[in-house]
Structure 1
Amino acid sequence: MPIPNPGPDEVRLRIKAFALNRAEALFRQGHYIIQPQFPSKLGYEASGVIEAVGPGVDESLIGKVFNTIPNFSFSSYGVYGEVAVVPVSSLGTYPDHLTPEQGASIWMQYLTAYGALVHIANVARDDFVMLPAASSSTAIAAMEVVKAEGGTAIGLTRAAKKKADLLSLGYDHVIVSADEDVVKRATEITDGRGARIIFDPVLGSGIEVLAQTTAYKGIYFAYGLLDQRPTPFPVWPTMSKALTLRGWAFPELFRDAEALKKAKDYIFKHLSEGTLKPTVGKVFALDQIAEAHRFMDSNDQIGKIVVKIE
């Protein structure tokens, strides 16, 4: 395709790396919040160097390194490719010690985790937090945020082969749902208190079990729908535990300028200190993009899947 020129309030990035997200797989499959209008772009997160700016944009940005904050719609923008035009408002920065692959693996996962756990739930020392889909990049990011705030992170995975790797990443406990009684193990780990926070991207029938692991007046965040089957409402746990069920999506932060600034400052500070460190699970070349998506569909990854542009 021809190299696109940036329009007003846009820049063109020469991409160094871009990351894959579940949102993009759902969009590809027709299960996302928005539907594609063909020909459609794809991709939220990338790192690269600005090589051109549109009218009204500071020309001193040319030659500088940025990454993208996913505050745009696939109906207008996308970062899969060697170059991408994005709004200047979507530009983010990351610490110099991170690689381009790590730089492309920041905002989606950490904004999602920070917004729910810190901005809303005020996760604190002695809190137990249950993290389903523990090998996903967002769950790993959430684990790091929980640990940074002094809480206890409990990972939940279906794959026993991932348990050792997840513990080595920093989870305090990992429950293998295929082999263990989730409610019993959660009760043991929390000394009967239950988890104050559930951070769930899966939903489906699993919500009934997870709701039973919560503490009294706990909060259950639903931030994804990896299980496309119907999600029942957990009536009895919700009533008996005075449980709050809360839908969450990180664009909620974009409606509050002060909250968004706090989120960006928090994430950059902890990235700089090394408290947060993006986990890159596997790197593909651009001509392997279909294979990269198939790998994401396999659920075998631990951390972010990234495409590196040579």
Structure 2
Amino acid sequence: MPRVVVFDETGGPDVLRVVDEPVVEPAADEVRVRIEAFAVNPIDQLVRGGQSPRPVRLPHARLGVEGTGVVDAVGSTVTGLAVGDPVILGAIPDFETRGAYAEYTTLPADRVVPRPAGLEPVGAAALWVSYFTAYGALVERAGMRPGDRILITAASGGVGRAAIQIAHQIGAVPIAVTRHSATVDGLVAAGAAAVIATDREDVVEATRRHTGGVGVDIVLDAVMGPGLAELSLAAKLGGTLATVGWLDPRPASFPANPSLTIHRYMSLADMVDPVTAGRVAAFLTAGVRTGVLQPAVDRVFTLDDIVGAHRYLEQGTAAGKIVVTP
């Protein structure tokens, strides 16, 4: 029987276990997908650790909000999809009961999007959540335009690297922020116009230096926490702050720049809107086709080593996405 990752209690990576489950037939409006690869995201760590933003039913809960695979079966009312179509799981709203950490899953047909031609499964598994989040926050909310200067925190992560590439596709100027000097060269190679390493320089002072004293047009922050007030001073007067994560679990300080427009962006809310998802899919497909968008994968694990994948996630050192293949 196909395998699936479940957990019966919250806690560390060791609560995850691989079990056998029968294949489920799709409902009339659903498709069944044979998973070829899935990504491990910070939201998975939060849910597994008991910090889920919504209740999770235990025991036998599942994980995984994104992945890629091939359509294995279609429901009786589904049109536009056929067995054998390569797809990306665009959003799994009930991931705690049928998430992507599995060899097969079923989900509504409007929650999958075509996989861009030429994108292999490992890369495709690293595409949707990171790039959707970066695009949604920067373009849909903050209105990023050519020439805008963008300050990107946690730039070594999946969303950060996606934001660097998307800024290039739009014609904006990405300035990366990292905690470690050792990652500077890698971020320059990834396309950052400048890199600020906070273990050796002050982020606000460095940003002002890179922008002629003006500040950036947009701050894209995936960290939050008590450093948010100071970070906001890196933006110009009348600039924009878009927050997309909470890597620092401590309470966030109120931005010290009173002129900012602030967006708290939650990509999963947009992913379930077919119009927005279609627009993002078209943008990402174009970027993959031209080669501007290239998902960064740090390490690939097998399903049998899902505990190891979560241990690696907790280290917080991944330069790109962590991907698992069944």
The corresponding residue for 1:193 is 214
The corresponding residue for 1:33 is 53
Structure 1 residues 255, 97: closer, same or farther in 2, change over 3 A? Answer: closer
Structure 2, gaps ≥5 residues long: 1-20
The match for 2:73 among 52, 59, 63 is: 52
**For residues 203-282 of structure 1, what are the structure 2 equivalents within 5 Å?**
203-234=224-255, 237-239=256-258, 242-254=259-271, 257-282=274-299
Report the AA paired with residue 30 of structure 2. E
Give the alignment's TM-score, normalised by structure 1. 0.93
**For residues 14-163 of structure 1, what are the structure 2 equivalents within 5 Å?**
14-38=34-58, 39-58=60-79, 61-163=82-184
Tell me how far apart the structure 2 counterparts of residues 142 and 59 of structure 1 sit (CA, whole Å). Answer: 31
Report the AA paired with residue 42 of structure 2. R
* Deviation string, structure 1 residues 153-201 (Cα, Å, up to 9, x no partner): 1111112221111111111111111111111111100111101111111
Is 1:171 the counterpart of 2:200 in the alignment? no
Is 1:292 the counterpart of 2:309 in the alignment? yes
- Residue 7 of structure 1 and its aligned partner are, at CA, apart by 2.0
**RMSD between aligned alpha carbons?**
1.7
Tell me how far apart the structure 2 counterparts of residues 42 and 254 of structure 1 sit (CA, whole Å). Answer: 17
- Residue 254 of structure 1 and its aligned partner are, at CA, apart by 4.6
Structure 1, gaps ≥5 residues long: none
Give the alignment's TM-score, normalised by structure 2. 0.89
SS in structure 2 of the partner of residue 238 of structure 1? coil
Runs of 4+ in 1 over 3 A off after TM superposition: 254-260
Structure 1 residues 45, 252: closer, same or farther in 2, change over 3 A? Answer: closer
Count of residues in correspondence between the two structures: 305
Q: Which shows bigger deviation, 281-290 or 31-40?
A: 31-40
Report the AA paired with residue 271 of structure 1. V
Identical-pair percentage: 32
Is 1:6 the counterpart of 2:26 in the alignment? yes
Structure 1 residues 91, 255: closer, same or farther in 2, change over 3 A? Answer: closer
- Residue 20 of structure 1 and its aligned partner are, at CA, apart by 1.0
Tell me how far apart the structure 1 counterparts of residues 319 and 239 of structure 2 sit (CA, whole Å). Answer: 28
- Residue 120 of structure 1 and its aligned partner are, at CA, apart by 2.1
Report the AA paired with residue 175 of structure 1. I
Contact 1:15 1:82 in 2 (8 A): yes
Report the AA paired with residue 112 of structure 2. L
